[in-house]
Amino acid sequence: MNLPIDITKTHVVHQWKHDRPLIACRISPDGQQAVSTSEDSSLQLWRIPGGEKTVLKGHESWVHALCYSPDSQQLVSGGCEGSLMWWAVRADAPSLLRKSDAHSGWIRGVAISPDGSTLASVGNDMLVKLWSTASGEKIAEWGGHERHIYSVEFHPSGNQLITGDLLGKVHVWNVADRKLERTIEATPLYTENKGQQAEYGGVRSLAYHAERKELIAGGTHKATNPFGAVHEPLILRFGWDDGVLRKSHACEGIPGGLVWRVQWLKDGTAVGVSGGSTGGLLLFFNDSQEKEIHRFKLPSLARDMDIHLESNMVATAHFDSHLRISVMNA
């Protein structure tokens, strides 16, 4: 696992099967555990590398939002029923620590501050909420998005929160006073298809690279038939200081694709996981060109991913009920 990264050598090393199609996944910061969620509304903890599974039940609906605490001891999950659940995941018998009725409707995203003290959650109620990770108490909530909020990330300083919505609006909030500092327009990720009378797309995922001072936003474009899953994956690369779009990373030959999540590699390579009628793909982009520098075809349609930078490990959640662990080296 400590070989130097080589994205062209990416390959699957583990695949563990649950009973139902998977939705989301994360790897714990210490790299010893992965979590997935599935269409049976449960969470599955997987020990790495053995793949021993523990199922956590409690949510009344599907879970799209997950994040680990920095020390890997706790996991927070946000369900479509609007509940936030804090789990102790390293005990012999993982257990529910607390539950909060957090949002009205789906929770779409959760993120934890770099110091681990604050959790942010966003959802279909178009509200941003902050929570104390120590007590579970709500610290603040505010509105400002006009449509469903799909994604949330903390800036590495912990002073700013970044949220993205259906309309392709990326708002940058000052965490201290909850004021909107500015809006970055990621509108290419939004499609209003008047023929189908549908609005589609949105900022499905966000990621910030501290050294490069760049923000990437993932989703879809060219949604000529949103109801028929005809749309192509797209990642937008913005300069953080000026908010200017630097690259539109599109892909050729993926007529049915959507970037469910984007993340960075340390060297500034942007990675997106695409799922759709074209199948499951890991797409890699650098700043030298708009099209991808490499794509890795996954064995099945993927719906989420998480990269563990220290081990070059990638977890992907799949429709075929598998959690797959790949490594980006030989």
Partner 1 sequence: MSLAHYACGSREHGLNRRRFLQRSGSAAVAGSAIAGGLGSLTTGLAAEQLKAQDMRIVVFNMHGGLSQLESWDPKPGTKTGGPCRSIPTSVPGTHVSDLLPYTAKQMHHLCVLRGVNTSEDDHGKGAYMMLTGRRQTAAADYPQIGAVAARMLNDESRGLPGHIVVTPGGGGGKGNEAAYLGPKYSSISLGGSKPPPNTTKPDGINDEAELRRHDFRRRLNEEFLTRRRTAITDAYTHSYEQALRLMERRDVFDVSKEPQADQDRYGKHDLGRQCLMARRLLENGVSFVQVTHSNYDTHNENFNFHIEQLGEFDRAFATFVSDLFDRGMLEKTLVVVLSEFGRTPNINLYYGRDHWSKAWSIVMAGGKVARGAVFGKTNDEGTEVVDGQVDHGALFHTYLQAVGVDSTQSIAVDGRELPIADPAAAPVWKVLT
Q: Can residue 299 be called a binding residue for partner 1 (CB under 8 A)?
A: no
Q: Which stretch binds partner 1 (CB under 8 A): 157-165, 180-188, 262-270, 275-283?
A: 275-283
Tell which positions 157-196 bind partner 1, by CB under 8 A.
196
Q: CA 87: distance to chain centroid?
A: 19
Q: Can residue 226 be called a binding residue for partner 1 (CB under 8 A)?
A: yes
Q: Which residues contact 232 (CB under 8 A, 6 or more apart)?
A: 220, 221, 222, 250, 251, 254, 255, 257
Q: Which residue among 3, 228, 289, 291 contacts partner 1 (CB under 8 A)?
A: 228
Q: Can residue 32 be called a binding residue for partner 1 (CB under 8 A)?
A: no
Query: Smallest distance, Å, CB 165 to partner 1?
Result: 13
Query: Which CB atom, from 199 or from 287, has the smaller least distance to partner 1?
Result: 199
Q: Which residue among 229, 245, 265, 293 contacts partner 1 (CB under 8 A)?
A: 229
Q: Can residue 81 be called a binding residue for partner 1 (CB under 8 A)?
A: yes
Q: Can residue 116 be called a binding residue for partner 1 (CB under 8 A)?
A: no
Query: Which CB atom, from 39 or from 287, has the smaller least distance to partner 1?
Result: 39
Q: How many helices (H) and strands (E) in the chain?
A: 0, 30
The residue type of 23 is: I
Whole-angstrom distance, CA of residue 13 vs CA of residue 78: 29
Q: Which residues contact 242 (CB under 8 A, 6 or more apart)?
A: none
Q: Can residue 105 be called a binding residue for partner 1 (CB under 8 A)?
A: yes
Q: Can residue 227 be called a binding residue for partner 1 (CB under 8 A)?
A: yes
Q: Which residues contact 5 (CB under 8 A, 6 or more apart)?
A: 265, 267, 312, 328, 329
* DSSP helix/strand/coil, 7: helix
CB 317 within 8 A of CB 303: yes
Q: Can residue 198 be called a binding residue for partner 1 (CB under 8 A)?
A: yes
Q: How many residues form the binding site for partner 1 (CB under 8 A)?
A: 28
Whole-angstrom distance, CA of residue 215 vs CA of residue 229: 27
DSSP result, 19-85: SS-EEEEEE-TTSSEEEEEETTS-EEEEETTT--EEEE---SS-EEEEEE-TTSSEEEEEETTSEEE
**127 beta partners:** none
Q: Can residue 124 be called a binding residue for partner 1 (CB under 8 A)?
A: yes
Tell which positions 254-273 bind partner 1, by CB under 8 A.
none
Q: Which residue among 5, 9, 15, 21 contacts partner 1 (CB under 8 A)?
A: 21
Using CA atoms, how far residue 47 sits from 162, 259, 300, in Å, is 31, 27, 22
Query: What's the start-to-end Cα distance of the chain, in Å?
Result: 9
Ramachandran angles phi, psi of 227, nearest 5°: -70, -20
Query: Smallest distance, Å, CB 182 to partner 1?
Result: 27
Q: Which residue among 62, 69, 158, 294 contacts partner 1 (CB under 8 A)?
A: 62
Q: Which stretch binds partner 1 (CB under 8 A): 45-53, 155-163, 173-181, 221-229?
A: 221-229
Ramachandran angles phi, psi of 80, nearest 5°: -70, -10
Q: Can residue 301 be called a binding residue for partner 1 (CB under 8 A)?
A: yes
Q: Can residue 41 be called a binding residue for partner 1 (CB under 8 A)?
A: yes
Q: CA 71: distance to chain centroid?
A: 19
Query: Smallest distance, Å, CB 77 to partner 1?
Result: 14
Q: Can residue 80 be called a binding residue for partner 1 (CB under 8 A)?
A: yes
Omega before 49 within 30 of 0, i.e. cis: yes
Query: Smallest distance, Å, CB 192 to partner 1?
Result: 12
Query: Which CB atom, from 169 or from 237, has the smaller least distance to partner 1?
Result: 169
Half-sphere exposure of 51 (CA within 13 A, CB side): 11
Q: Which stretch binds partner 1 (CB under 8 A): 85-93, 129-137, 223-231, 282-290?
A: 223-231
Site for partner 1, rule CB under 8 A: 20-21, 39-41, 60-62, 80-81, 105-106, 124, 148, 196-200, 226-229, 275-277, 301, 319
